[in-house]
Structure 1
Amino acid sequence: MADGTESERQEGPQTDRAAAGRRALAAVRAGGKAALARALAELEQSPDAPATLALLDAAYAAPRARVVGLTGPPGVGKSTLLGRLIAGYRARALTLGVIAVDPSSKRSGGALLGDRVRLATDPQDAGIFVRSMAARDRLGGLADVTMAAMVLMRALYDRVLIETVGVGQSETDVAGAADTVVFCVQPASGDALQFMKAGIIEIPHVSVVTKADMGAPARRTLGDLKAALALAAPAAAPEDEAGEPRDVLAVSATTGAGVDDLMAAVERHGDWLNEGRRLDRRRRAQAEAWLRQCLRDRIGRDGLHRLVAAGIDLHLAPGVSPFARLAALARAAGGS
């Protein structure tokens, strides 16, 4: 009699890998900042290593945090606002993982660390971890490994905050990683038409005019932003987005005015996502989009088309991690 079916023979290794991933995730939790730093370094250096994939699969299966993305043009004050949000969340005893995507050094390719230098955090505070990542040649405002780092931090902290590199209209990838996107603009930055031309006006769930302490210019920009959002609003939203909160407000990171309102708006959007299975569906769609993008990066459009033509289903079943699937599909297609 045969020892078992093919699926039964595969079940053992898969179960062992899942158990190894859970043990690795527990070790990162227990090891604190140092363990997380080592894990992030490993996933940057060896993203397809079996141990890395097992860890990411385990983290993907155990989400804990709400993920908030901050985006907007350079000089808008994202880093200062991020500092206020960090202080606000820590005052509420919420733990934080922070990913600051910085411009890349043309010489080394590494992050210039501009945002982390401006963030005043207590290095002894075990409840916050800040990681800078280099955008390198990515035009979407995020680094190549941001999704993996986010998934790992999402399993460890109460909130994950992602600040994108300030590159204007190409900062759209954050919508594929964050549950709630906060779009920041500054006073006198343009009228409704310019907001529309920026190409990202339909992305944010919360829109913020920074430097509200400037007075009249901030109020005018707030009006422009509300007008732009009204023009960009679809005539009929998809059923899953009906009633989705989209707040518009003004904040001064210098004085702290409006920061509590911003945090309340972010939490309100998170609560809306938690109704039904909206959050699960959105995160699965994000993971599928990330999987397709990574496949295009690794095997090209032709390789991706060959996979589809061969009948390979690129959709993810509920609970299935995109990380091990990416490595397997890339190998099957002959990619690296």
Structure 2
Amino acid sequence: MSEGAESPSELAARVKAGDRGAVARALNLVDDRRSARRADALVLLDALEGQGRGRRIGLTGAPGAGKSTLLDALATGLRARGRTVGILAVDPSSRKSGGALLGDRFRMGASARDAGVFFRSLAARDQLGGLAEVAGASVEVLAAAFDVVFVETVGVGQSEASVADFVDTLVFVAQPAAGDLLQFMKAGILEWPDVFFVNKSDLEGLATRTATELRAGLDLGRGEDPADRPPVLSGSARDGVGIDALIDALDAHHAKQDRTGEFRRRREAGRLARIESALVRRYGRFGLARLGGRPALEAFVAAHPARSAEGVIDALGARFEAGFAAKSEP
């Protein structure tokens, strides 16, 4: 670090103070692929890990469901309640540049001009479910600076399962007449979400039918006590209908997580899942087996001093590469 340059610890302090410029610099740092910057990124992430006040909410659903319009309406509603909002939108990647195709503010409305809303696009980079490898680190940065953090996915593949590793609450946005109950169940979309929102309720008959099918699917597929099943809400993001009820449902889910201890359990499980996913992505299932399977991974994570998932991932990588190098020596 050159004289007068901002240290990772100083940057972390400014992020936690809500400095928008510092947030942008921190996001650039964790997205920097150069090895020379990796050490600074890990110091920053260790300083931010577990410090974020921000609740993390995933927004997923098929393209065309109106996720971006809903996101804009939610941000506006939360700002009216005095909360700051950070948004991470995982966009399709340009095949030529690898960057996000849609840009930071292309799809946002009035909330994009609000100083209490921070928006960042992230290229999917062909990761499963459209989630970039750097998404977890970016969420940590945003959660340290803002009251509520949204992660919006491109809504393809296994995005519901993937985004669940990064968030406290997952919202599935359905559009009327997008499919019948059998299609919902076959696609597996009933397994992960904590809240369902049927958008475009101005299509009254179709929206009512879709909500009814979702509730029926939850009755059949989730096996929970009826009181614990995810709520299915309807509204129109374009017209601002149902937005307050959705925010109330998100708050109720957060309160329940705090009350039952699910909040901490979900954070810990998500961190472990991110580490395991990175390990398998780099070294395949052989890598996990070589470590000793899931129990050995859990023990390694529990014992390692790094606070951030990224720090543990790098430590695992160094361990494997050292083992491979030793094995290849004559």
Q: Shared topology, TM-score over 0.5?
A: yes
Give the conservation status (yes or no) of the 8 Å contact 1:71–1:184. Answer: yes
Which digits, 9 at most, give the CA deviation of each residue in 1:203-223, with x for residues without a partner?
Answer: 110001110011111111111
1:260-299 aligned at under 5 Å gives the runs 260-299=244-283
Distance 2:52 2:250 in 1: 18
Cα distance, 1:122–1:32 mapped onto 2, change above 3 Å: farther
Give the unaligned 5+ runs of structure 1.
1-19
Q: How far off is 1:114 after superposition? A: 5.7
Query: Residue type matched to 1:167 in 2?
Result: V
Question: Out of 319, 323, 327, which is 2:310 matched to?
Answer: 323
Give the conservation status (yes or no) of the 8 Å contact 1:22–1:58. Answer: yes
Distance 2:122 2:266 in 1: 25
Distance 1:23 1:161 in 2: 25
Residue 234 of structure 1 aligns with which residue? 223
Which digits, 9 at most, give the CA deviation of each residue in 1:60-99, with x for residues without a partner?
Answer: 1312011111000010100000010010011111011100
Q: How far off is 1:299 after superposition? A: 2.5
Residue 83 of structure 1 aligns with which residue? 72
Distance 2:86 2:10 in 1: 21
Residue 252 of structure 1 aligns with which residue? 236
Cα distance, 1:229–1:220 mapped onto 2, change above 3 Å: same
Secondary structure of the structure 1 residue equivalent to 2:131: coil
Which digits, 9 at most, give the CA deviation of each residue in 1:2-22, with x for residues without a partner?
Answer: xxxxxxxxxxxxxxxxxx765
Question: C-alpha root-mean-square deviation of aligned residues, in Å?
Answer: 2.5
Cα distance, 1:244–1:323 mapped onto 2, change above 3 Å: farther
* Residues 1:116 and 2:105 aligned together: yes
TM-score w.r.t. structure 2 length?
Answer: 0.87
Distance 2:73 2:103 in 1: 17
Distance 2:283 2:28 in 1: 24
1:22-171 aligned at under 5 Å gives the runs 22-30=9-17, 32-46=19-33, 49-113=38-102, 116-121=105-110, 125-167=114-156, 169-171=158-160
Secondary structure of the structure 2 residue equivalent to 1:101: strand
Q: How far off is 1:168 after superposition? A: 5.2
Counting aligned pairs with the same residue, the percent is: 45
Cα distance, 1:139–1:255 mapped onto 2, change above 3 Å: same
Residue 224 of structure 1 aligns with which residue? 213
Q: Paired residues, what number?
A: 312
